[in-house]
């Protein structure tokens, strides 16, 4: 498969150019006017049937060979994160407080590379129909862009879908595959407590919300450690707590908020955590004579990779890169991915491609303000995309 890697190399400069352009002008959530316009324009240049307006800023590119074969979808997410870009590079984010720190610029450029390759190698495509989906709001807000796309029906009739995420845990050129459970469900919760504020010297005249919140948080952590079977995977994290004013040290605040997230692979475990979390904060609030507002935002379900599609991804990666470049992950992720919504309706699988390069100092984790990638990693990833797509398009692999 060296020939395929050589062909993919021809698209490196284009993918790098697209990636850096998107990286320097990041957009968040569902509103991605510049990114989606760039994607739609390029797809039209490549000769695709382009569809927009069905899921906010989503873009769909369709290439129908007119020959027998499966209909296969490939997905890339386009949105950035609301955080500062602290890299000192020419393509650093030009928008204050917005940054492509999760690699969605890479995913978009990679799928554009695939689109460009297919348009120039139409006669080599085994047959069938290719649907390339460029998605907004993978990072939220809930329920994410994937659900809107699934609900729109634009992918109805696809035989399989696959997607991938760059992974700085792996060196560039290494692919990570996983059979079975892959990503956990994702919920975000907020708790707002209200009571009587008072002078800190007279706590009996008011409600001391801070120890009440501490009691709640301790009880919430006991859900995982004492109420869920030890062999079931789950995590509950309180990620923020806000109360009072630091410079004012003699006032017990009248309001306190805290929030966080919980994840699980089992839907029954997820439902149990959601129910118990709300029950705990409301019961402790009543016990202490304060009011409580609770909100749980269910973002993404958990998902497991389809075995047949995963087989083809692993086979394709091994053919292109060699068996030594394919890692079989033994443990699932506790993170969440809204790719889960696709797998609820279609056969699908997800994999990782490495982007780390220690010699170049490219080791920062995802969601880190210094995150960057070895751009050479897009070449082997593109080759795996092409090989996987070709195998899936063939009728006998349906």
Q: Which residues are catalytic?
A: 79, 138
Count other C-beta atoms under 10 Å from residue 229's C-beta. 8
Element (H, E) at 215: helix 209-222
Cα 295 from Cα 257, distance rounded (Å): 11
Cα 79 from Cα 63, distance rounded (Å): 24
Crossing angle of helices 33-45 and 12-24, in 10° steps, is 160
Q: How many helices (H) and strands (E) does the chain have?
A: 10, 16
Cα 71 from Cα 392, distance rounded (Å): 8
Long-range pairs, 236-245, Cβ under 8 A, ≥24: 236/260, 236/261, 236/262, 236/273, 236/277, 237/261, 237/262, 241/213, 241/217, 243/209, 243/210, 243/213, 244/210
Cα 66 from Cα 26, distance rounded (Å): 36
């Amino acid at each position: 498969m060296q020939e395929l890697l050589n062909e993919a190399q021809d698209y490196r400069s284009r993918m790098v150019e697209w990636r850096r352009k998107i990286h320097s002008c990041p957009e968040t959530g569902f509103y991605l006017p510049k990114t989606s316009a760039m994607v739609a324009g390029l797809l039209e240049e490549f000769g695709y049937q382009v569809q927009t307006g069905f899921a906010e800023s989503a873009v769909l590119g369709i290439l129908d060979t007119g020959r027998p074969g499966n209909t296969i979808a490939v997905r890339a997410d386009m949105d950035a994160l609301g955080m500062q870009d602290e890299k000192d590079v020419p393509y650093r984010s030009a928008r204050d407080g917005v940054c492509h720190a999760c690699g969605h610029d890479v995913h978009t450029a990679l799928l554009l590379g695939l689109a460009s390759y297919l348009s120039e190698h139409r006669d080599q495509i085994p047959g069938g129909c290719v649907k390339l989906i460029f998605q907004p709001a993978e990072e939220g807000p809930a329920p994410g862009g994937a659900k809107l796309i699934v609900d729109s029906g634009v992918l109805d009739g696809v035989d399989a879908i696959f997607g991938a995420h760059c992974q700085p845990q792996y060196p560039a050129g290494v692919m990570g595959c996983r059979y079975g459970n892959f990503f956990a469900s994702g919920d975000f919760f907020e708790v707002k407590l209200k009571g009587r504020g008072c002078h800190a010297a007279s706590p009996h005249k008011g409600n001391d919300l801070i120890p009440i919140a501490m009691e709640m948080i301790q009880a919430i952590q006991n859900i995982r450690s004492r109420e869920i079977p030890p062999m079931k995977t789950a995590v509950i994290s309180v990620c923020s707590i806000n109360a009072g004013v630091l410079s004012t040290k003699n006032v017990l605040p009248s309001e306190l908020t805290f929030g966080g997230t919980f994840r699980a692979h089992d839907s029954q475990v997820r439902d149990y955590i959601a129910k118990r979390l709300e029950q705990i904060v409301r019961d402790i609030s009543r016990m202490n004579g304060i009011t409580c507002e609770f909100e749980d935002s269910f973002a993404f379900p958990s998902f497991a990779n389809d075995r047949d599609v995963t087989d083809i991804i692993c086979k394709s990666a091994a053919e292109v890169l060699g068996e030594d470049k394919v890692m079989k992950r033994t443990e699932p992720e506790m993170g969440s991915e809204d790719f889960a919504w696709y797998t609820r309706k279609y056969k699908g699988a997800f994999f990782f491609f490495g982007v780390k390069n220690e010699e170049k100092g490219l080791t920062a984790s995802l969601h880190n303000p210094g995150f960057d990638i070895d751009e050479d990693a897009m070449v082997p990833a593109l080759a795996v995309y092409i090989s996987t797509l070709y195998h899936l398009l063939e009728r006998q692999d349906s």
